[in-house]
Structure 1
Amino acid sequence: MRLDVNALGTFYRMAREGAGLAAGRLTQMTDVETQVGVTKLNFMRGTEIRHDFEDGSEKVGIRVELSGGIDGHSIVVFDRDSARTVLNALLPDQTTDEFDELSRSAATEVGQIMNNGFIDGWADVLETVIDVSTPEFIEGESADPFFGDLETAPDADDLALVFQSHIEAVGTETGFRHYLFPEHDSMATLLERLRTSEGIEYDKLEGFDRMAEQGAQEVARTATTLTGIETTVEIRRLNFVSLEAIPEEVANDRLVGVAFEFDGMPSGYLLFLFDETSATEIIDAMVPMDTGTSEPGEFDEMGRSAIKELGNIMASGFLDGWANVLDTTIDHSTPEFVHDIGAAAVDPVIIHLGEQQDYAFVFDTKVVADGREFDCEVYAIPDEDDLERALNALDVDKIDETPTTAEFGELEGT
């Protein structure tokens, strides 16, 4: 199975169109004003998908099976409180929180209308007909009730292309997630029809995902070594998104970070972003003296140097692993300190990339510490043309045999 940016771009437009129709139909049915949040094509392993579900909250969902233009399963999932909010608009006299026959029927109808909105949007973009089965009501706290029995759902270590859209009710915390699990052969047929270039073998992309995983582990190891704060990788995934959607993913808080441009095969951008509390914690761990960071949001030269040095060494470990496996050289720029609010922290990168491309593969990672304030968001955004050339030259068998390397120097000024 081969894929290219044109095919994935079509899938992305398909997902956005479907989400828009689903949101509009939900508003018409319930008078609850909605808006489409982030839409992504995720290349996710089964363990990562289950991580999304297993947050301890009760969920309900409506699942349908698809055939015709695309085969697979479409699932609308919402947490129990969000479902009750919507059902209260339909059944104002319903007083119980339990899902009795009436509320299950109403929830199924809402989920079916939303599923049909997604599916009609996909059919419009693909110019085809997609048949839909009778909807199935599901509830539970883990992933198993929702897709544990589906052949189209990936096993723990399998990399699958999963469509995700998030719809939010305006002015409330009510939100809905949507998942499409396409059947492999059906997806391969669609990719072949939509592809306009030689593209990338799917197993090469899976191999590059393993490289990103190694890079993420190297980032965590480096952070632990330099700060003494035990860190691990909590979330790591490969997304295909519109460039304009990347800032929507960034928390709307004041962020501290380091940005790099890297050059070679591939080229692109690498960002490490921390919230201000995490940045202060890192500085205190690396430079155990008064650095002038006692005032919230203030970072003196020593503190900025510590953050830049940490980012510099993490970047080397991340990119050196790629270069070793690809048997190439990847150089990165000197670190640029970033301190801004939310999307403004990533806007310069998006503007630069937007001059050449509309979409991007984004490797995003969250590094966290156990019991300490240390959250680090890592974004690696390669140039799409370079990435295609690099992946086509990739020897997948070398990935697990080639070590990542990082050199730990003494922090300047300590």
Structure 2
Amino acid sequence: MKLDVNALGTFYRMAREGAGLAAGRLTHMTDVETRVGVTKLNFMRGHELRHDFEDAGEKVGVRVELSGAIDGYSVIVFDRANALRIVETLVEKSDAEEFDEMNRSAVTEVGQIMNNGFIDGWADVLETVIDVSTPEFIKGDSAEPFLGDIETASGDELALLFQSQIEAVGTEVGFSHYLFPTRDSMADLLEQLRASNGIEYDKLDGFDRMAERGAEEIAKTATTLTGIETSVDIRRLNFVSLEAIPQQVPNEKLVGVAFEFEGTPSGFLLFLFDEESADEIIDAMVPSGTASGDDDTDGYDQMGRSAITELGNIMASGFLDGWANVLDTTIDHSTPEFIHDIGAAAVDPVVIRLGENQEFAFVFDTVITADGREFDCEVYAIPDESDLERALNDLDVERIEETPTTADFQQVNNT
């Protein structure tokens, strides 16, 4: 199976079209204004997907099976509280505390209309017909009831799935949508839509495994340099529109380091921390360092900036050296640029630069956390799409397990 940017771009537009139709139908049913949030094409493994379901209490969903132009499953997922809020708008005299038969019916009806909105959008873009089964109401506090019998969601092979979010303006109501196409169905569509030689899917799978190891090494490096025990909490490979990247970044003041890297591939690498995490890092690396409440113009003195940029520089070197080792190429990166800004503003320069030559991007998105201490680090690796395609076409997949994915690090003397 091969994929290329043209085919994935069509899939992305298909997902956006479906999300727009679904949002409009939710507005019509509930008289609540809605908006489409982030739409992504996710390349994820089963254990990464299950993380989404096991992190926020009980969920409620409506699932349908698809056949025709797309075989697979379409699933609408609400947090329990959001599903009950929808019930309150649709069912008179409902206490909306439990999912009795009437409330289940209301949620199922909404879920079916939402699923049909997405599916009609895909069918419009593909100019084809997609058949839909009878909807199934599901609830649970883990991924098993929702995904347990879906082959593409349960294994640890890299699966392509579609994820969209819709939010009700001015309320807490929102939900996520997942499309799980079968591998054969996806291969047929990719073959129809592909406009270039494309990338072998197995090579993208291999590169993702390499990036997974690189993310784990970043966490180990952070632990070595700061003394704070860290681990990889979330890691995804997304295919998104460039304009959607700022929407993924937390809407708060962030501290970080940005790099441009050149070689095969070229692109950008960002490490972003919330202010509390940055302060914790500075305290760990420079005991006399200055946290964000001091008198410097942006809240960080020279020693604080140096600690953050030093950590970012060493993590970037190890991460990119790992890519270069496996790809058997050379990747150089720029000097670190210190960032202290609102989330979207931190990534806008990257989006503008990449937008000169491309509309979409593969984004390696990683969140590193620490138990019991403030250390939230979001890592965004965004390669140039044409460089990435060349690098993957030349990739020897067998090298991935045989080649070290990081450089050796020396302990930093925290004095």
Q: TM-score band (shorter)?
A: over 0.9
* C-alpha contact (below 8 Å) 1:313/1:407 kept by paired residues: no
TM-score (norm 1): 0.97
Separation of aligned partners in 2, 1:199 and 1:145 = 36
* C-alpha contact (below 8 Å) 1:324/1:402 kept by paired residues: yes
Check 1:214–1:96 CA distance in 2 against 1; reply closer, same or farther (3 A cut): closer
Separation of aligned partners in 2, 1:285 and 1:58 = 37
- For 1:12, the equivalent position in structure 2 comes to 12
* C-alpha contact (below 8 Å) 1:258/1:311 kept by paired residues: yes
Separation of aligned partners in 2, 1:50 and 1:349 = 31
1:100-142 Cα offsets, whole Å, 9 max, x none, are: 1111111111100000000000000001010111111111111
* C-alpha contact (below 8 Å) 1:313/1:406 kept by paired residues: no
Check 1:344–1:293 CA distance in 2 against 1; reply closer, same or farther (3 A cut): closer
Q: Secondary structure at the match of 2:151?
A: coil
Alignment of 1:239-318 (within 5 A): 239-291=238-290, 293-295=292-294, 298-318=299-319
Q: Secondary structure at the match of 1:396?
A: coil
- For 2:71, the equivalent position in structure 1 comes to 71
The code of the aligned residue for 2:170 comes to: G
* C-alpha contact (below 8 Å) 1:265/1:329 kept by paired residues: yes
- For 1:380, the equivalent position in structure 2 comes to 381
Separation of aligned partners in 2, 1:292 and 1:323 = 35
Q: Secondary structure at the match of 2:32?
A: coil
- For 1:199, the equivalent position in structure 2 comes to 198
Superposition deviation, residue 295 in structure 1: 3.0
Alignment of 1:221-232 (within 5 A): 221-232=220-231
The code of the aligned residue for 1:153 comes to: A
- For 1:161, the equivalent position in structure 2 comes to 160
The code of the aligned residue for 1:272 comes to: F
The code of the aligned residue for 1:275 comes to: D
Superposition deviation, residue 408 in structure 1: 3.7
2:92 maps to 1:92: yes
- For 2:117, the equivalent position in structure 1 comes to 117
2:219 maps to 1:220: yes
- For 1:345, the equivalent position in structure 2 comes to 346
Separation of aligned partners in 1, 2:152 and 2:157 = 11
* C-alpha contact (below 8 Å) 1:254/1:276 kept by paired residues: yes
Q: Secondary structure at the match of 2:294?
A: coil
- For 1:362, the equivalent position in structure 2 comes to 363
The code of the aligned residue for 2:311 comes to: L
1:257-276 Cα offsets, whole Å, 9 max, x none, are: 00000000000000000011
Aligned-residue CA RMSD (Å): 1.4
The code of the aligned residue for 2:94 comes to: Q
Question: Aligned residues, how many?
Answer: 413
Superposition deviation, residue 96 in structure 1: 4.4
Separation of aligned partners in 1, 2:104 and 2:110 = 10
Superposition deviation, residue 294 in structure 1: 4.4
- For 2:50, the equivalent position in structure 1 comes to 50
Superposition deviation, residue 293 in structure 1: 4.6
Superposition deviation, residue 153 in structure 1: 2.5
* C-alpha contact (below 8 Å) 1:306/1:411 kept by paired residues: no
Separation of aligned partners in 2, 1:402 and 1:408 = 17
The code of the aligned residue for 2:41 comes to: L
Separation of aligned partners in 1, 2:138 and 2:366 = 30
* C-alpha contact (below 8 Å) 1:364/1:379 kept by paired residues: yes
Superposition deviation, residue 93 in structure 1: 1.1
* C-alpha contact (below 8 Å) 2:75/2:178 kept by paired residues: yes
The code of the aligned residue for 2:232 comes to: V
The code of the aligned residue for 2:405 comes to: T
Alignment of 1:114-193 (within 5 A): 114-155=114-155, 157-193=156-192
Check 1:91–1:352 CA distance in 2 against 1; reply closer, same or farther (3 A cut): same
Structure 1's unaligned 5+ residue stretches are none
Separation of aligned partners in 1, 2:324 and 2:128 = 42
Check 1:305–1:65 CA distance in 2 against 1; reply closer, same or farther (3 A cut): same
Superposition deviation, residue 292 in structure 1: 6.1
1:319-351 Cα offsets, whole Å, 9 max, x none, are: 000000010000000000011012001000000
* C-alpha contact (below 8 Å) 1:305/1:412 kept by paired residues: no
The code of the aligned residue for 2:171 comes to: T
Q: Secondary structure at the match of 2:250?
A: coil
Structure 2's unaligned 5+ residue stretches are none
1:223-278 Cα offsets, whole Å, 9 max, x none, are: 01111111101111100000000000011100000000000000000000001111
Superposition deviation, residue 152 in structure 1: 3.6
Q: Secondary structure at the match of 1:269?
A: strand
Check 1:405–1:153 CA distance in 2 against 1; reply closer, same or farther (3 A cut): closer
The code of the aligned residue for 1:37 comes to: G
* C-alpha contact (below 8 Å) 2:285/2:414 kept by paired residues: no
- For 2:398, the equivalent position in structure 1 comes to 397
1:162-194 Cα offsets, whole Å, 9 max, x none, are: 100001111122110000000111110000000
Separation of aligned partners in 2, 1:329 and 1:298 = 37
Separation of aligned partners in 1, 2:291 and 2:110 = 55
Structure 1, 288-297 or 105-114: larger mean CA deviation = 288-297
Superposition deviation, residue 56 in structure 1: 4.3
Check 1:300–1:321 CA distance in 2 against 1; reply closer, same or farther (3 A cut): same
Superposition deviation, residue 62 in structure 1: 0.7
Superposition deviation, residue 215 in structure 1: 1.0
Q: Secondary structure at the match of 1:70?
A: coil
The code of the aligned residue for 1:269 comes to: F
* C-alpha contact (below 8 Å) 1:73/1:152 kept by paired residues: no
* C-alpha contact (below 8 Å) 1:154/1:160 kept by paired residues: no
Superposition deviation, residue 214 in structure 1: 1.2
TM-score (norm 2): 0.97
Q: Secondary structure at the match of 1:373?
A: coil
Separation of aligned partners in 1, 2:193 and 2:209 = 26
